[in-house]
Amino acid sequence: MRQAMHRLRIATHGKGLVPFTHDVLGWVASTKIKMGVLTLWCRHTSASLTVQENADPTVLEDIKRYFEALVPEAPGRYIHDDEGPDDMPAHLRTMLTQTQLSIPVADGRPVLGTWQGLYLFEHRGHPHHRDIVLHLIGE
């Protein structure tokens, strides 16, 4: 059994879904681990991770709009607003999604479906640099 760990730094441009599948595929291949489990961990409380369709960009736009309606930025609605009106809504959106993914690895590749891609879901309005930790264990 072997292990490998890596950190991705992803630049965001404000709210939205940022694809990073290609980076993960390249790193997993570089480890030479053929079978195992890949864990992805987002080190932030105002951004999250998701596996989502990677073919039609309107899916990503609809997801973004849905979360805007579900957890609106409404001045006076939240007590916590230390970093602006998108602060608490970003924390709630992260709580409703996920900060960790576990994906099986077979034949040296994450086992993703044909139309699945990996995305960082940025919940803040301004650009950020987000850290994603990758941990692969297998043989």
Q: Quick one: average pLDDT of 100-109?
A: 98
Q: What is the pLDDT of residues 5-60, one digit of tens each?
A: 999 999 999 999 999 999 999 999 999 999 999 999 999 999 999 999 999 999 99
Report yes or no: 14 and 78 within 8 Å, Cβ to Cβ. Answer: no
What Å distances lie between residue 35 and 1, 54, 105, 127, CA to CA?
10, 24, 5, 36
**pLDDT reported for residue 119:** 98
Query: Which H or E element spans position 39?
Result: strand 36-42
Residue 23, classed as helix, strand or coil, is: helix
Report yes or no: 103 and 110 within 8 Å, Cβ to Cβ. Answer: yes
**pLDDT reported for residue 109:** 98
Alpha-carbon dihedral angle through residues 85, 46, 13, 55, given to the nearest 10 degrees? -120
The whole-chain average pLDDT of the chain stands at: 97
- pLDDT at residue 81 above 90? no
- pLDDT at residue 93 above 90? yes
Residue 35, classed as helix, strand or coil, is: coil
Distance between CA atoms of residues 36 and 33, nearest Å: 7
Q: Which residues constitute the domain of residue 52?
A: 2-138
**pLDDT reported for residue 16:** 97
Report yes or no: 24 and 40 within 8 Å, Cβ to Cβ. Answer: yes
Number of domains present in the structure of the chain: 1
pTM of the model: 0.96
Q: Which two tokens stand for residue 8?
A: 């991705």
CATH code of the domain covering residue 37: 2.60.120.460
DSSP assignment letter at 57: H
**pLDDT reported for residue 75:** 86
Only one residue has tokens 């596996």, namely 51
Distance between CA atoms of residues 18 and 10, nearest Å: 8
